[in-house]
């Protein structure tokens, strides 16, 4: 009878696997929140503008999905997805929970732009650098 633990008996999940799970969770929550916002919170029903706004709001998350599935870089995907997720939560709060003015809804138009050109890339670089550092440590 052996006292050593076989790797097959006690699998260890790598950091990359955990990052992949976090990225998938962020993608899932983003799709659910944006779908809820577009199809249930929109005034006037679902039309071309609402569908376009919904698609526009998901573009930054499409880039994160490409990092995850096409480039297989889970840490960069998590970094790319997490900052836009926070921005979208703040936008949701400012538009639907505690709007400060009549132009609060414009945040729904401009948040995806900020996510795409600033927050996503910054988070992606941070995630990529963190992933590289963790790989070097474990090597």
Structure tokens at 27: 């993608």
pLDDT score, position 11: 46
CA distance 104 to 101: 6
CA distance 67 to 23: 10
B/e letters for 6-23, b = 16+ CB within 10 Å, e = fewer, are: eeeeeeeeeeeeebbebb
- The SS3 call for residue 12 is coil
The phi, psi pair for 100, rounded to 5°, reads: -100, -5
pLDDT one-digit tens code per residue, 57-116: 999 999 999 999 999 999 999 999 999 999 999 999 999 999 999 999 999 999 999 999
Q: Domain coordinates of the chain in residue numbers?
A: 15-138
Percentage of the chain beyond pLDDT 70 is 91
Q: Is the pLDDT of residue 5 over 60?
A: no
pLDDT score, position 42: 82
Higher pLDDT, 1 or 69: 69
Q: What is the DSSP letter of 99?
A: -
- The SS3 call for residue 5 is coil
Cα-Cα-Cα-Cα torsion 56, 84, 80, 127, nearest 10 degrees, comes to 180
């Amino acid at each position: 009878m052996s006292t050593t633990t076989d790797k097959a008996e006690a699998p260890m999940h790598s950091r990359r696997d955990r990052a992949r799970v976090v990225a998938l969770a962020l993608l899932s929550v983003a799709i659910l929140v944006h779908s809820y916002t577009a199809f249930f919170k929109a005034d006037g029903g679902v039309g071309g503008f609402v569908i376009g706004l919904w698609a526009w709001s998901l573009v930054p998350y499409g880039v994160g999905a490409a990092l995850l599935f096409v480039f297989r870089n889970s840490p960069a995907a998590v970094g790319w997805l997490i900052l836009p997720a926070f921005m979208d939560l703040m936008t949701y709060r400012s538009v639907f929970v505690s709007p400060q003015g009549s132009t609060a809804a414009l945040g729904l138009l401009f948040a995806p732009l900020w996510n795409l050109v600033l927050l996503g890339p910054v988070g992606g670089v941070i995630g990529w650098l963190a992933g590289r550092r963790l790989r070097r440590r474990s090597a």
